[in-house]
Every structure is written in structure tokens, then in C-alpha cells.
Amino acid sequence: MTDVAAATADLTSLIGNLQNAPKLVEKLTKELIHDTADKIAQIARSKAPIRTGALRESINIQYDGDFSATIGPHVDYGVYQEFGTASRGEFGGQPYTIVPKKGKYLVFTINGRKIFAKKVTHPGIKPKYYMRGALEAVLQPFIDELTEIGALVIVKGKNAK
């Protein structure tokens, strides 16, 4: 093969690769989104507080088109577990009163003893950070890498000490 024929073959191959590049980038981006969403959901399930397992089992992924995913629980109380409630929650608030739905008393078992109460003032629950913890665990290495790369191009300004 002559040098001209080899160069022509190389250019033809390059043109073919460049024409296929958008499809390849799209395919790889979709795979990255799916893989990342799967990892986040898996870690969120492992970090979710467990009483009955319903919260953990409700964490799933909804794909919103090709390049977007929504990950989260589908039980009503998932948001309260993530952010907390009342005075212990992230958004503050007053303690709340719990009264029996049926009967005269609320019944609790504490240290093996049954406790009866007409009402209980609850300070709220602390945040559990199971969703944000999962997101951070998956994305932190990527953020660290971007920070490191960014640190290589950041230079001190003329007024820096």
C-alpha cells in the first residue's frame, strides 16, 4: 500500500469514527446514568432505616427520558426519615402531640414495661440522610477528581497573599 493510499484509508477511518462519535457519546452517557442511578439506589437501600423494610423496598429508579433519572422512596414517610421532623428536623418546628386513634390510651413497651398514656408530646425524629448519603457516596469520587483537576488550573490573582 502506498503512503497516499494509507493516508486515505486513515482519513476514511477517522471520518467514519467522527460520524459515529455522537451515537457513541449518547450510548455511553445513557450507560453512565443507568449505572450511577443503580449504585445510588443500592446504597440508599442499604442506608435506609429499617423497621418493617417498606421504606427500603420502596426506593426505586424512574427514568425521565434518556438522560435523567429520579431515585427515591415511594412511601409517604420517606421524606420525614431523610429530613427529620419538628424540633429535631432540618427545618425546625414545634414538638407535636400524639393522641390515640382508637381507645383511651396510647400503649408503649419500654424496657419490657407497658406504658399507658392519654397523649405524648414528641420532639420529632432526627434526619437519617439515607438518600443524600447514597448520592454523596457515589458522586464524591467524581467531585474529588474535578476538584483536583480544577486545582491544577487555578492560579493566584495579583492581590493574593
Answer positive or negative: Cα dihedral of 41, 46, 52, 55.
Answer: negative
- What is the pLDDT, as a whole number, of residue 159? 72
Q: β-pairing, 120-122 with 96-98? A: antiparallel
- 4-39 pLDDT tens trace: 666 666 767 767 777 877 888 899 999 999 999 999
pLDDT tens per residue, range 99-116: 999 889 999 899 999 999
- The model's pTM is 0.73
Count of H-run helices and E-run strands, the chain: 4, 6
